[in-house]
Amino acid sequence: MRAGGQGASCPRAVAAAVKGQTAPGAWGRMAAARAWVLVLSLWGAVVSGQNITARVGERLVLNCKGAPRKPPQQLEWKLNTRRTEVWKVLSPQGDSWDSVARILPNGSLLLPAVGIEDEGTFRCRATSRSGKETKSNYRVQVYKIPRKPEIVDPASQLTAAVPNKVGTCVSEGSYPAGTLSWQLDGKLLKSDGEGVSVKEETRRHPETGLFTVQSELIVTPALGGAPRPTFSCSFSLGLPGHRPLHSAPVQPSVWAPEPVPLKVQLVVEPESGVVAPGGTVTLTCEAPAQPPPQVHWLKDGTPLPLLFSPVLLLSEVQPHDQGVYSCVATYPTHGSQQSPAVSISILETGREGPSAGSVGDSGLGTLALALGILGGLGTAALLIGIILWQRRCRREQRKAPERQEEEEERAELNQSEEPEAAQGSAVGP
């Protein structure tokens, strides 16, 4: 940017711009001085500079401001383009450069057919009849609208859940290069590193200088997505006032593979799921898949927050840890699968209660059975004891008094041989 043309008039705009910057004191004056520099440099570009876009192959006329409409004129055109490489000066009287640019009788510069090499800066300095000098400054940008973009090698079928190449969009013959973009069902598709990947390549033709842009689209259609998505591609030059060019759409079908039944298992340690208070339970979610699925846990049907590990460790278990646990594995391609549920219960050491879990119930049952058997055995022993005692009583009643001595002897013998029977008789009334 050059502060050209500052000698020309425009004091009002400058004064207005500076007023806002003026502040009392030295600092204020410094700020004002800097503002002047800024305003002057901007002013040079804004007042005498103008951006022109010119289509390749068309004619371009640049007016020399302030020049007399008819000769004799005092004016000079200076251009710095890719064609000239250095500043080239053209004057009405000088040798013309007919095929590229020539000065018209009214002082304007004519380029009969703009080429890519004519992109650059054009300046004119003219002196009016009254001696006032005016400068014009143009930045000429050249453009070439390419053919409509085309999707080559379009896919007729895409497979869900895996990356697929949709096609390659090609735009040929643009200047400047411009950009290609993809749309899915009318919405812009952007490379996101996951489901959408776009690879763009730009080449320049060595002779024409025009660009060929191509963009390859790879997508991973989601399972359960649209069965016939519509892809299209559009080209944009990136210059103001130019609408994008759209390709014909392609409509591949999406084929979804049948979900593979995946078994999710829940392994518990200890196996019974019964643990004493303060003990440890380890639950391991076994979900075979590559890549490993995302795991979360459910307790009594409610997700446990912030737990995404395939191993759930319950240490120092408390009564509130009791419940029914299961894990849910979420596969990127096959949705979610839930494991069978497992009941975790705490062994009640103090008392028997209904809170004991299913495995605890069976333990208690065994205990009850054992107690029942013991009780039965006890009762039988008691009955046998009673029967023996009653028999003995009856025998004693039948015995004659004369045999008392003999009987006593036998009792003594029994006592030594069968202490239990003797005891039983001693206890009896």
Ligand X SMILES: *[C@@H]1O[C@H](CO)[C@@H](O)[C@H](O)[C@H]1NC(C)=O
In the complex, the residues that contact ligand X under the rule CB under 6 A are: 49, 51, 61, 63, 104, 106, 108, 139
Which residues, including other chains, have CB under 8 Å from residue 295's CB and lie 6 or more apart? 285, 287, 308, 309, 310, 327, 328, 329, 330
In this complex, which beta carbon is closest to ligand X, that of residue 47 or of residue 298?
Answer: 47
> Closer to ligand X at the Cβ: 61 or 369?
61
Task: Please give the structure tokens belonging to residue 59.
Answer: 């004619």
Best CA proximity match to 328, nearest among 349, 347, 302? 302
Q: How far is the CB of 54 from ligand X (least distance, A)?
A: 14
Residue 395 to residue 378: CA distance in whole angstroms = 26
134 versus 202: smaller Cβ distance to ligand X: 134
Q: Would you say 37 or 382 has its CB closer to ligand X?
A: 37
Closer to ligand X by CB, 8 or 160: give it: 8
Positive or negative torsion for Cα 390, 394, 395, 396: positive
SS3 at position 361: helix
Q: Which amino acid is at 288?
A: P
Closest CA to 149 of 176, 119, 130, 171: 171
CB 24 within 8 Å of CB 80: no
Shortest Cβ 246–ligand X spacing (Å): 26
63 or 343: CB nearest ligand X: 63
Minimal distance, residue 107 CB to ligand X, in Å: 7
- Sequence-distant (6+) residues with CB within 8 A of 411 are 422, 425
Burial pattern 379-392, b for ≥16 Cβ within 10 A else e, equals: eeeeeeeeeeeeee
CB of 104 to ligand X, least distance (A): 5
Closer by beta carbon to ligand X, 112 or else 310: 112
Q: Are 316 and 278 in contact (CB under 8 A)?
A: yes
Shortest reach from residue 288's CB to ligand X, in Å: 59
User: What's the CA dihedral at 379, 383, 384, 385 to 10 degrees?
Assistant: 100
Q: How far is the CB of 179 from ligand X (least distance, A)?
A: 17
For the CB of residue 126, give the shortest distance to ligand X in the complex, in Å: 11
Quick one: which of 116, 175, 112, 171 has its CA closest to 144?
175
H helices within 304-403, ranges in order? 358-398
The residue among 106 and 202 lying less far from ligand X, judged by its C-beta, is: 106
- CB 65 → ligand X: shortest distance, Å? 8
